[in-house]
């Protein structure tokens, strides 16, 4: 009856352990499996584990010398965007290589001093822009078809991400030259010049 009370709290595994442990001549450890008990009964002694594989002497093993990874090449300096007189002098009258049509927005002055995706610091007084895919340094002629005003800008950032029809974000001064500060969003034609 004592066995039943003990085993009720232990479950079947505990019951088997208690029954084996309470048997005549049993030790306090759990019973070995059938294969182990028959093996030890035949040999009459405990079986020892085989010796691990002998290791080679450290002097005979040659390890390759550690070498440092080659130094990374220095990043190319960020190409500074050009001022308006430089842009006009270089690109005025050049034919467009590619034309894109969509809507333009502009950066506010609150973003001044932040780094752009190209690494250049945003300055609202420079003629820069953001485009989703065009390479950094690409020069664009941004034309407003309704007023025929245009401005040259350099791509230095990624965006706009607000809507599908918006294709360019202009710096504050470029938006001012196009006369779009009151509207905020206007239709433009982008001409890739370089």
List C-alpha distances in Å: 191 to 20, 38, 125, 137: 91, 90, 22, 14
Residue 142 sits in which domain range? 84-192
> How many domains does the chain divide into?
2
**Full-model pTM:** 0.59
35 & 122 share domain = no
Would you give per-residue pLDDT tens digits along the chain (194 residues)?
A: 455 454 444 454 444 444 444 454 444 455 555 555 555 455 555 566 666 666 655 566 676 677 776 666 655 555 567 788 888 889 998 999 999 999 999 998 999 999 999 999 999 999 999 999 999 999 999 999 999 999 999 999 999 988 889 999 999 999 999 999 999 999 999 999 98
In this structure, the answer to whether residues 25 and 120 fall within a common structural domain is no
Q: How many residues does the chain have?
A: 194
Beta bridge partners, 106, equal 170
The verdict on 132 and 185 lying in the same domain is yes
- Cα(178)–Cα(104) distance, integer angstroms: 10
């Amino acid at each position: 009856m004592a066995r039943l009370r003990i085993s009720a709290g232990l479950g079947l595994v505990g019951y088997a352990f208690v029954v084996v442990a309470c048997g005549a001549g049993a030790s306090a450890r759990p019973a070995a499996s059938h294969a182990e008990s028959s093996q030890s009964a035949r040999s009459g002694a405990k079986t020892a584990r085989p010796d691990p594989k002998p290791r080679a002497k450290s002097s005979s093993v040659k390890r390759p010398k550690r070498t440092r990874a080659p130094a990374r090449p220095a990043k190319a300096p960020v190409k500074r965007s050009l001022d308006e007189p430089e842009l006009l002098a270089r690109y005025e009258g050049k034919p467009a290589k590619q034309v894109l049509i969509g809507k333009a927005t502009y950066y506010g002055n609150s973003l001044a001093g932040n780094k752009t995706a190209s690494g250049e610091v945003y300055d609202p007084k420079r003629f820069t822009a953001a485009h989703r895919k065009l390479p950094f340094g690409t020069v664009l002629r941004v034309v407003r078809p309704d007023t025929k005003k245009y401005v040259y800008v350099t791509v230095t950032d990624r965006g706009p991400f607000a809507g599908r029809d918006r294709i360019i974000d202009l710096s504050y001064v470029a938006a001012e030259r196009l006369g779009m500060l009151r509207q905020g969003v206007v239709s433009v034609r982008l001409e890739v010049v370089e």
